[in-house]
Amino acid sequence: MMIQIEHLDKQYGVFTALVDINLTVLAGEFIAILGPSGCGKTTLLKLLAGFIKPTAGQIMLNGELVGSAHSLKPPEKRNLGMVFQSFALWPHMTVEEHILFPLKHHRFAEAKRKQDQRARVDTVLQMVGLESLKKRYPSELSGGQGQRVALARAIAPRPSILLMDEPLSALDAELRIEMRKEIQTIHRQTGTTVVYVTHDQGEALAMADRIVVMNQGRVEQVDSPETIYTRPKSVFVSRFVGKSNVMEGQWISTDTFMPKGFPSVQWKDLGVSLELKRQNVYPIRPEQWKLEEPSPGQLNGKVLFAQFQGNEVHYTVSVEEQLLTIYSPIYEKRYEPGNEVSVRLRIPANLLLRI
Ligand code: ATP
């Protein structure tokens, strides 16, 4: 176990930022901390880094107690690498000097000899694809290249844990997606344990081994990206990850749901968690709906918006005062704002046999 967090609380004065956080991270895991603005993601990362002290509970890194209300091991003694949103490069240092610097000064750096340090700089430059730019200064780099320097600087001393706080948010959309792959590749090559803070579900789903979904200072769910997406445990997770429409009604048996107000409609279970069944709700992701012509007894409604998105059309449909978000493939029949439609649950062909 690389990281163990037990009953961790953090208060800023009277404000409670984190409540009873428990989390275990294995060596080499890539963990994403995902949640909306203000939910406490950065606070958790700062506690892991040792910038701030817990109010209660404890943090162990590599089996050693490093943070509690009574003790705090300082950041420079925790063998961590860090990459932040504002990647803070030093304007007077070239790319290679950025990478050399932590090797000379980091107390955990393995490379003590000058020759080893140079070799390490070359290896890291190669990993992030910056060999040809090593003599450049930050002002001569693009945003993506600058972020690669920050990443290289963080991994050069081979930290056992790499903490990243929204490292891609300063980059444009295309570059963000490109850098996801690069970070994943570097993670695979180095085997470093990664804790990656983001509010972007796409990043968390694409990169992490496990996602910690946070809401208002608490952990809502910790699971693999696929489980988080397909079997959310709470209404919050189903809405935040996957933009589900949460339908109220009743689970009349373990695998049949009757939406409220539509007694003639029954939906089969396409993977709803026990926790949500207990709350008598059914989360339906936008791509799980299908639009058809209106028919009696069905969930009939009216299209309010239709947005062409290239691969899909995104609809907003009002059904009984509720606004549903629906994504349809573009090859299906199109509807326009004002059209009357019926909304059905799309059952994937491979599940039809089981149901
Ligand atoms: P964002 O995605 O916007 O960065 P976050 O999830 O990282 O948000 P935190 O920065 O951890 O959130 O902040 C959690 C809560 O604690 C917020 O409500 C914030 O206002 C509050 N907070 C953070 N730092 C302090 C501080 N030093 N003093 C008082 N309150 C603070």
Nearest residue (by CA) to ligand 1, atom 10, is 42
Give ranges for CATH 2.40.50.140 in the chain: 243-353
33 CA distance to ligand 1 centroid (A)?
14
Fold (topology level) of 3-228: Rossmann fold (3.40.50)
Nearest residue (by CA) to ligand 1, atom 19, is 38
> How crowded is residue 81: how many other Cβ atoms within 10 Å of its Cβ?
24
Residues lower than pLDDT 50 in the chain: 355
DSSP annotation string for 24-47:
EE-TT-EEEEE--TTSSHHHHHHH
Half-sphere exposure of 159 (CA within 13 A, CB side): 28
335: alpha, beta or left, given left = phi > 0 and alpha = psi -120 to 50? beta
Nearest residue (by CA) to ligand 1, atom 5, is 38
Ligand 1, atom nearest to 18 Cα: 14
pLDDT in tens, 241-259: 989 999 999 999 999 999 9
Residues 6+ apart with CB under 8 A from 86: 170
252 CA distance to ligand 1 centroid (A)?
42
295 CA distance to ligand 1 centroid (A)?
49
User: Cα separation of 212 and 210, whole Å?
Assistant: 7
User: Cα separation of 115 and 32, whole Å?
Assistant: 36
| CATH code of the domain made up of 243-353 | 2.40.50.140
Give ranges for CATH 3.40.50.300 in the chain: 3-228
pLDDT of 179 reads 86
Mutate to test the pocket of ligand 1, among 10, 39, 86 (most ligand atoms within 8 A of CB): 39
Q: Which residues line ligand 1 (CB under 6 A)?
A: 12, 15, 17, 35, 37-43, 199
Ligand 1, atom nearest to 45 Cα: 11
pLDDT of 352 reads 54
pLDDT of 281 reads 97
